[in-house]
Amino acid sequence: MRALAGLALMAALLPGRQDAAARVCRLPAQSLATAPDTAAWCAREFLIRNGYTAAPASADRTAIALEPTMDVGRTFDEMMFARRNTVGDAPLLACPTATGFLVSFSMPNQLDPTHGRGVSMTRTYAGVTLLRSWVRLSAGVPPHCISPRLPAP
């Protein structure tokens, strides 16, 4: 029965139109100072909406993106429980990349504070994805990166 529930979740959330819509940024009402600030907003909004932070996740299941390498074999409730409070809600750095942006976040309750999680997206703030691998958190601000300045969520 549990396997069937996992298959049903996979079928409902497989990458496709629904998942693509869940990976588009819900842009802030006011434009932000820079493109990396906007990317940081998008990444934070994605993490909160998808249940990775301590804040409540979206009640709209169609707004939740499936992370195929992390969520396979879990029911929806198991998936949301496993995500809860695994990523901080304050972006630390926002860096332009060749294809878009990478935004780094701390991981609460981790023994090694030198590593965090990264969220990537395109230059148009689409394809927002939590990276499976950890990112190394720098002691300073690397060239071309900024410390985001964001209004409260």
Per-residue pLDDT reduced to its tens digit, 48-105: 999 999 999 999 998 999 887 778 888 889 999 999 999 999 999 999 999 999 999 9
Cα distance between residue 47 and residue 65, in whole Å = 10
Asked whether the CA dihedral 90, 138, 121, 54 is positive or negative, the reply is negative
What is the H or E stretch that residue 45 is in?
helix 35-49
pLDDT tier for residue 153 given thresholds of 50, 70 and 90: low
CA–CA separation, 36 and 22 (whole Å): 20
Task: Give the pair of three-digit tokens for residue 100.
Answer: 């878009």
What pLDDT sits at residue 15?
44
Q: With bands split at pLDDT 50, 70 and 90, how would you rate the model's confidence at 12?
A: very low
Rounded Cα distance between 26 and 43, Å, is 10
